């Protein structure tokens, strides 16, 4: 029974080492860019789309909005810049 216990502990340790190695690799690949490039064409397109939205013509490329930081931030900045002040 002692041999079975030692082999079980050995298998658990080996399995733990392999699973920890795999999880560290996936964390490294999830890094995303956190700065916006306002000279990028996608930022400018997002700004135009956001401005059109603020003026009443809803325009947004949802696929770009989800994955492209420049388009995303441009859309919000364009919408904010072109909103009509009601006060």
* Residue-wise pLDDT tens digits, 28-71: 444 566 788 889 999 999 999 999 999 999 999 999 999 999 99
- Whether residue 58 sits in one domain with residue 81: yes
Q: Is 50 within 8 Å of 82 (Cβ atoms)?
A: yes
- Whether residue 47 sits in one domain with residue 23: no
**Looking at residue 84, what DSSP letter applies?**
P
- Residue identified by tokens 């029974």 is 1
> Domain range for residue 4?
1-29
- Whether residue 48 sits in one domain with residue 22: no
Structural domain count, the chain: 2
pLDDT of residue 13: 66
pLDDT of residue 24: 46
Instruction: Tell me the whole-structure pTM to 2 decimals.
Output: 0.59
- Whether residue 71 sits in one domain with residue 44: yes
Q: Which residue has the higher pLDDT, 53 or 24?
A: 53
- Residue partners of 68: CB distance under 8 A and separation at least 6: 42, 46
pLDDT of residue 39: 92
- Whether residue 84 sits in one domain with residue 42: yes
Q: Is 49 within 8 Å of 82 (Cβ atoms)?
A: no
CB count in 10 Å sphere of residue 63: 9
């Amino acid at each position: 029974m002692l041999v079975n216990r030692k082999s079980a502990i050995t298998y658990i340790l080996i399995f733990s080492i392999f699973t920890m190695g795999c999880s560290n690799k996936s964390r490294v690949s999830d890094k995303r860019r956190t700065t916006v490039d306002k000279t990028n064409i996608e930022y400018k397109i997002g700004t135009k789309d956001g401005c059109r939205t603020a003026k009443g013509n809803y325009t947004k490329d949802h696929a770009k909005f989800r994955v492209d930081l420049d388009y995303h931030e441009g859309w919000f900045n364009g919408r904010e810049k072109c909103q009509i002040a009601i006060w």
